[in-house]
A and B are shown apart, each in its own frame.
Chain A
Amino acid sequence: MDIYKGDRLAILGPSGSGKTTLLNLLGGITNPDKNEGILNVFGEEIQNYKLKMLTDYRKTRIGFIFQFFNLFPTLNALENVIIGCELLRNKENKNLNTNTIAETYLNKVGLGERLFHYPSQLSGGEQQRVAIARALAKIPFIGKDFLLLLDEPTGNLDTDTGKKIITLVKELNEREGITCVLVTHDKILADLFSTRTVHLKNGEINN
């Protein structure tokens, strides 16, 4: 399976088809259990990466959006975004202000008025937007050579909100040119979002 830069790829399939596993492999949060096949991401073959290299890979190449938003309950929206990008500060990019960047991306996702709200004060959709902003806030540090992976991002949201989130990501993709991979079982959302669709069944591509 190939993923092209700037793609909006949707991976569809029934439960147990392996779509989440595939996403996890791409995101470096799980290792393959067999020594077969190649995972080549931006020229790096990550299938044999050890823990430290996978950590660096996740830091510099991946933005992950989970179903349950996964925000820190004790940090407000702004801080939840900053914690993702301050990891990338070094000597070369020390001029970049993480506060400003975080604010910018929160504005982009429409949460400019909610910077200092805590997750328990935000709706599900708003929390997911924070998660998206956190993932995208890496761009000024690492450029657009990174994968935004979305694992059932609308699973915990109502249909309308879900659509809004998907539309947001689509707009960000078109504006920023980032590569997105969406895992979902919802064909309508997949059609709304993607430029290409891959169907999985029993761990194999079944287009």
Chain B
Amino acid sequence: MNFLFKKAIRDFRKLGWRKYLILSVIALCIGGSLAINYTISSSMPMMNSYFNSANHADYIYQLDDNSWINSTQLNNLNKVQEIKDFTGRLFWPTSIKLEGQNDWKYVLLIGLNATYDYPEVYRYFMKSGINFNQDSNNLSAIVDDTFFSKNKLSLDSTINITGLNNASLRLTGTFNAPEFIMAVSNPEFILPIEGSMAIIYLSQETLKNYIIDHYKNLNFTTPYNFDAQIQYFKKVEYNNLAVTFREDISINEGNIALTNYIENNLSLTLKEVNNFYEIYPYSYMKADLEESSEFMWIIQIFIALTGIFIIYVVFNRYTFSQSQQTGFIEAMGYSKKDIHKYYLLVMILIYIISIPLGIIIGYSIGYLIVNILLTEMANLELFEFPFLFLPQVLLIGLITGGFMIFFSIYLPVRKLCKKDIAKLVYQKTEIKYKRRFKFRIPKLNFRKISTKLTLKNSLRNKKRLTFSLLSITFSLLIISSTQSMLDSMFYNIDLTFNNPNITGNPPVENWNLNVQFQNSVNISEPNSLEEQIKNITGIEESTPYVKGIANSIGKVNQSLLMIGIDLNSSTVHNFRWKDKIREQMFPLANNEIIISSVQAIELKKNIGNNITIINQTKDIIILTIVGIHRDLTTIAYISDQLGKSIFHSSNNVIDGIFIILDPSVDKIEIKNQIYNLGNIEVIFDSEEMAKALNDFISNFFVIFYVLIYYTLVVALIIILYNSIMNIYDKNYEYGILRSLGYSKKKIGKMIITENMIQGIIPIILTLIFTYPLAVEMAAIYEANFPLDVFIGIPTILYTVIPPIILYIIGSFIAFRVVYKKNLYEQVQTNYVS
């Protein structure tokens, strides 16, 4: 037995470079599988710990525009016994145009009580500089770190809030706020656009004074009278509450109690009430992680299968190479049980080296992946999330790795041990000729037998060939399907915003500018803001709209962002339909609604179903779903008349306007003109949005790139191994060819042809199966991001070019192996060990 133990170690060491290949393939396949498992298991716990560290609110209450509260009323919330902690905030959305930049950005100003270091609920974390309340200057403010870095701002600089009468603020620090991760410029869109929306914390007192000054200025510069608003703003302090409830009661109970208190005791109107689990950052992050987990399960299975197949192939070759020696050992008197023990020793040797390595790789890469995912979502630096040791991942690694190695060695060994000892000792080659299953190349007349030999060699050893090709195919499929998801995302953004390279499809968002008003505009007044905008030279088409949030009630309650608009004679928007009741959708009747596919999934509704909504004045409206769109927005569309009746008490009020410009005009000039008219909250530029969305995809889905390149490395090793060993196995046959007088050029051509025939099969299989697999993967994201699947050039290039290059390199290495050996030795061995 000692002899077998020594032999096992020595034989393994004698493998030379191949042992490193075996160990690295196993370690990488197991590591890759574990990395994904770790990511799936740890992402939600890490995300939850992040929100918990900020003492996130259980509920957020946004008060109506005419229902702000003062400090006394705020403090009296202590009387509500269900409440544990609360923080009053003054939210003011507006816009800013930074110096040196052409576009306007959305900014949310949040006023806090400066006497507190940090808010009790929804604390933020300073990234640089000092908190605004630590500075003696009451015009100090802090800005979110992403906006700060993306717009290249500097500490102690002053910014002017253009949309708030150029209110001046001095930036003393930057922060990261869990409440505002995934900050978007336009919450209507599914994807966030980093750096185009700012969150600024400042003293509530300062903000209030600036708001009052803003309205005073509007009094002078516009024909409207804002005295009532000015008087009102002087008396109130806050319009937003973040609340946590006691742990011994349910948050729903707490919410009911507080809502009653606000509406009945304080006689205030709530504009919006959001449960923590429903708010955009948490729900988006959670949904994204869940979808990513589903996506990664598929990848994990593929990597595991790749590992199993390739390890089987490697050990199949290894056991064959040892088969004659196995025969000698048995001939000496060792039993079949001893042979099993010998291979078990080899297996243990490989296990104790490769599995711990694989586990380390799994934890490391998994930790990296989950950090990339979460830090991109939360706008943090890499590795700010702590490492979570998940013992189940270790267990899976130990068990799965053992299973993979055992299965891959055991089957070939079992086959070996069934063979007659004489056949093992005297075997010539692996070729078994069975008359019944004879493989012929029928009806193919080869000009040269050498061509026939090449073809036959390339399709030799069916089982090993199948497993090798399957492992390569699986690894290429991981690469191609992941890349196709990226291609599809970019394509869908192109479809939405009409990249000039996309032809034949009118863009979904055909508008150039989307102007949102600070306060709703009455269009019946002479020279209204809408009239003034329409009269600006260069505006080809404009379509006004009303916008607001209503709650859908039913089996699932949901806040719906809705636009009331008449698209009958407008070209500002072209829907991508999932389903619709009729060809000519507009004008919509006053009891009809078009919802997004994302909303349809959330609400569990289909075409023809009814949807019940309640607006702020508690009116109940029942609407029939006549269309489900697959745009990148989560907006529901209703008729403009219905919208006005739901969100406003007048038929003459609008909230914004979509604009199509004459292509020849200077867009920046137009935007400036519009801003100068006043009462503009923000102007969204479709071109800027498209660019920002593309940047987001590239940054956010860097995880996909990690998967692609990791798998490329695995594929590289597998393909190289296969292409070298393919030739190495037939080394002596190439020796015969050399002895017959075949030149280097001819032999080289035969080697590369043989490898290419084998190489083309996984490439073709991958190209065939990429699209169906991508469709399945896109379906995972359907609930959040409806994707039209598109197989782009990068997908095809990644699938075709790297394998071909690797097969050529492998052939070259194999060629050198053929010519390295002394020709006499080469022809004397009638098989390769």
Contact = CB atoms under 8 A, between A and B. Distances in A.
A84 B428 CA distance: 21
A55 B822 CA distance: 14
A84 to B, nearest CB: 5
B824 A74 contact: no
Nearest to A63: B740
A66 B828 contact: yes
B428 A72 contact: no
Contact of A74 (B457, B744, B822): B457
Given A29-B739, A59-B741, A120 B450 contact: no
A106 interface: no
A87 B742 contact: yes
B453 A83 contact: yes
Interface string A53-75: 00111111010101110111111
Contact of B744 (A51, A60, A64, A87): A51
B557 to A, nearest CB: 70
Given A70-B830, A74-B431, A30 B741 contact: no
Contact of A83 (B429, B450, B744, B827): B450
Contacts, number: 91
Interface string B593-608: 0000000000000000
A74 B428 contact: no
A68 B453 contact: no
A34 interface: no
Return the 5 tightest CB-CB contacts between A and B, nearest first.
A59-B741, A73-B431, A74-B456, A58-B741, A29-B823
Nearest to B447: A86
A151 to B, nearest CB: 9
Interface in B407-460: 428-429, 431-433, 448-450, 452-453, 456-457, 460
B205 interface: no
Contacts of A67: 828
B743 interface: yes
Contact of A75 (B453, B735, B744): B453
Contacts of A62: 741
Nearest to B742: A87
B560 interface: no
Contacts of B448: 86
Per DSSP, are chain A's interface residues mostly helix, strand or loop, or mixed? helix
Residue picked from B735, B739, B740, most chain A C-beta under 10 Å: B740
B736 interface: yes
B182 to A, nearest CB: 61
B452 A79 contact: yes
Contact of A58 (B429, B449, B733, B740): B740
B738 interface: yes
Contact of A70 (B432, B433, B453, B736): B736
A24 interface: yes
A84 B448 CA distance: 11
A120 B743 contact: no
B453 A72 contact: yes
B732 interface: yes
24 contacts: A29-B824, A51-B744, A55-B742, A56-B743, A57-B741, A58-B738, A59-B742, A60-B741, A67-B828, A68-B827, A70-B735, A70-B739, A70-B830, A72-B453, A73-B433, A74-B460, A75-B449, A83-B449, A83-B737, A86-B449, A87-B741, A87-B742, A87-B746, A118-B431
A56 B741 contact: yes
A187 to B, nearest CB: 23
| Residue among A60, A87, A121 having the largest count of chain B Cβ atoms under 10 Å | A87
A82 interface: yes
A60 B736 CA distance: 15
A70 B732 CA distance: 8
A82 B824 contact: no
Contact of B428 (A55, A56, A66, A120): A120
A142 to B, nearest CB: 10
Name the interface size band of chain A.
Answer: 35 or more
Contact of A30 (B432, B824, B830): B824
B739 A58 contact: yes
B449 A82 contact: yes
Contacts of A175: none
Contacts of B737: 83
A119 interface: yes
Given A79-B453, A119-B428, 8 more contacts: A55-B741, A70-B735, A72-B736, A73-B429, A83-B450, A86-B448, A87-B742, A120-B428
Contacts of B456: 74-75
B822 A30 contact: yes
Nearest to A29: B823
Nearest to B822: A30
Interface string B813-826: 00000000011100
Contact of A120 (B431, B741, B746): B431
B169 to A, nearest CB: 79
A64 B739 contact: yes
Interface string A182-206: 0000000000000000000000000
B462 to A, nearest CB: 13
A84 B429 contact: no
A166 to B, nearest CB: 21
Contacts of A91: none
A45 B457 CA distance: 37
B296 to A, nearest CB: 43
A79 B824 contact: no
A57 B450 CA distance: 20
A120 to B, nearest CB: 4
Nearest to A134: B740
Nearest to B736: A70
B740 A120 contact: no
Nearest to B456: A74
B218 to A, nearest CB: 90
B192 to A, nearest CB: 60
A120 B828 contact: no
B742 A121 contact: no
Contacts of B733: 72-73
Nearest to A57: B741
B715 to A, nearest CB: 28
A84 B740 contact: yes
B689 to A, nearest CB: 62
Interface string A141-175: 00000000000000000000000000000000000
A121 B741 contact: no
Contacts of A51: 744
Interface in B261-293: none
B641 to A, nearest CB: 80
A71 B735 CA distance: 11
A52 B738 CA distance: 11
Interface in A99-127: 118-121
B153 to A, nearest CB: 69
A121 B736 contact: no
Interface in B444-483: 448-450, 452-453, 456-457, 460
Nearest to A20: B824
Contacts of B830: 68, 70
Contact of B743 (A55, A75, A134): A55
A121 to B, nearest CB: 6
A45 to B, nearest CB: 19
A30 B823 contact: yes
A19 B822 CA distance: 17
A70 B429 CA distance: 11
A24 B822 CA distance: 11
Interface in B17-35: none
Nearest to A131: B736
